[in-house]
Amino acid sequence: MKGLRRVSAVTITAGAVLTAGAFTASAQAATTASPTIAAKGGFVMNNATGKSLFTKAADTRLSTGSTTKIMTARVVLAQSNLNLDAKVTVQKAYSDYIVDNNWASSAKLIVGDKVTVRQLLYGLMLPSGCDAAYALADKFGTGSTRAARVKSFIGKMNTTAKSLGLTNTHFDSFDGIGHGANYSTPRDLTKLASSAMKYSTFRSVVKTKSTKQKVTTKNGGYRYMSWTNTNNLLGSYSGTIGVKTGSGPEAKYCLVFAATRSGKTMIGTVLASTSVDNRTKDAKKLMDYGFSR
């Protein structure tokens, strides 16, 4: 009987070990299970290696909303002999554009003020100013008329997309208020953001939660412009370093995001999510998943 009891005890112990192992395996599987997101498209990759860690309709062309402005900034920063302190006079056309487009978000630039290129980049990326985007397109496009300069700038956006191998991307606007041919994919936008993040000025701008900028008025005085970043991952997700929100009737709710933890950077995109809250939740899920891989 004693021998039988000993065998039974060993059997029970072995069973307990197997059960505990199964629970551990299930817990690990649960933490690394591919997440479900509300967005129509999503993508996340390891920024250092370029390894894809999550894809959902990653190569499906979708409207991008103001995530387009990542390319606007990228084109500006790639200009040869760029002077970030060069001053640009705010034109009435920029403020009229905001009035004429219901979905246009604004940096609230004031006609006649002189703002630097660097300040325009903050106005572009934090409050997502379409007026700042217009000013940059007008400044860095070429041509004898404003329309020609804007067309030239959008051409540079598309040339840059081709040079980066973004085969499913096309722009027909400088700010994402498209005219039927402004689209990209979660994978392409992530690659674009990764390229833009190589510029130190871009990194500095997109990680800024809020800023107060001193600008020169047309009378030679000065005023302060205060801008707050629309990316609410900043301050709510540990390690967030950018990048850009977007929205619109067709685009729905978009977010290109990046975070660094323990020396590892995740970068990705969600397009056509169902709300501001859900695009944030989607991004957090994808980054959590990326960091767990």
Mean pLDDT of the chain, nearest integer: 91
* Cβ atoms of residues 164 and 192 within 8 Å: yes
Residue-wise pLDDT for 227-242, tens only, equals 999 999 999 999 999 9
Active-site residue, 66 included? yes
pLDDT of 16 above 90 = no
**pLDDT value for 103:** 81
Residue 236 annotated among the catalytic residues of the structure: no
Instruction: Give the active site residue among 66, 173, 184, 247.
Output: 66
Res. 31 pLDDT band, cuts 50 70 90: low
Q: How far apart are CA 64 and CA 43, in angstroms?
A: 14
Query: Bigger pLDDT: 53 or 27?
Result: 53
Residue 3 has pLDDT above 50, yes or no: no
56, 63, 69, 191: the catalytic one is 69
pLDDT in tens, 195-226: 999 999 999 999 999 999 999 999 999 999 99
For the cut 50, the answer to whether the pLDDT of residue 257 exceeds it is: yes
User: What's the pLDDT at 230?
Assistant: 97
Q: Which H or E run includes 245?
A: strand 240-248
Q: What does residue 238 show for φ and ψ, rounded to 5 degrees?
A: -60, 130
Q: Whole-prediction pTM value?
A: 0.89
Residue 61, Cβ neighbours under 10 Å: how many?
A: 15
Pair 183, 177: CB distance under 8 Å: no
Instruction: Looking at 116-248, list the stretches that DSSP marks H as alpha helix, in order from N- to C-terminal side.
Output: 117-125, 130-140, 146-163, 186-196, 200-206
In DSSP terms, 38 is beta-bridged to: none
Percent of the chain with pLDDT over 70: 89
Using one digit for the tens of pLDDT, what is the confidence trace for 132-190? 999 999 999 999 999 999 999 999 999 999 999 999 999 999 999 988 899 999 999 99
pLDDT per position as a tens digit, 67-84: 999 999 999 999 999 999
Could you give the CA distance from residue 180 to residue 76 in angstroms, rounded to a whole number?
24
Give Cα 208 to chain centroid, integer Å. 13
Cα separation of 237 and 283, whole Å? 10
Q: Which two tokens stand for residue 42?
A: 């999503």
Locus of tokens 């990048």: 243
With residue 207 as reference, give the H or E element that holds it. Answer: none
Q: What count of Cα atoms within 13 Å lies in the side-chain half-sphere of residue 243?
A: 35
Average pLDDT of span 250-270: 97
CB under 8 Å to 90, separation ≥6 — which residues? 109, 110, 111, 112, 113, 114, 115, 131, 135
Residue 28 has pLDDT above 80, yes or no: no
Catalytic residue among 63, 105, 106, 128: 128
Residue type, 6: R
